[in-house]
Amino acid sequence: MSDSPASDQQQRDDVRFDWGRPARIGLHEAIWGEHKSADQIAAILNQVAERDQFALVTRVSEEKASTVRTLLAAQSEAAVLHWHASARCLSFGMLPVRRSELGEVMVLGAGTSDLTVASEAQLALQCHGVACGLMLDVGVAGLHRLLEQLPRLKPCQVLIACAGMEGALPTVLAGLVPQPVIGVPVSVGYGVSAGGRTALEGMLASCAPGLTVVNIDNGYGAAMAALRILQSNGGTGLSR
Domains of the chain: 5-92 (no CATH), 100-232 (3.40.50.1970)
Residue type, 187: S
Residue 60's closest CA among 38, 28, 29?
38
Q: What is the pLDDT of residue 2?
A: 44
Q: Tell me the CA distances in angstroms from 60 to 24, 79, 91, 184, one per residue in order.
A: 27, 18, 11, 20
Q: What is the pLDDT of residue 9?
A: 54
Q: Tell me the CA distances in angstroms from 187 to 115, 132, 222, 225, one per residue in order.
A: 12, 23, 15, 20
**How do residues 18-49 score in pLDDT, each as one tens digit?**
777 887 888 888 999 999 999 999 999 999 98
112 DSSP assignment = G
Is 179 within 8 Å of 153 (Cβ atoms)? yes
Q: Tell me the CA distances in angstroms from 45 to 8, 38, 213, one per residue in order.
A: 13, 10, 31
**How do residues 145-156 score in pLDDT, each as one tens digit?**
999 999 999 999
**H-helix or E-strand spanning residue 160:** strand 158-163
**How do residues 182-234 score in pLDDT, each as one tens digit?**
999 999 999 888 899 999 999 999 999 999 999 999 999 999 999 999 999 86
Q: pLDDT band for position 109 (50/70/90)?
A: very high
Is 127 within 8 Å of 26 (Cβ atoms)? no
Report residue 31: phi and psi, to 5°: -105, 120
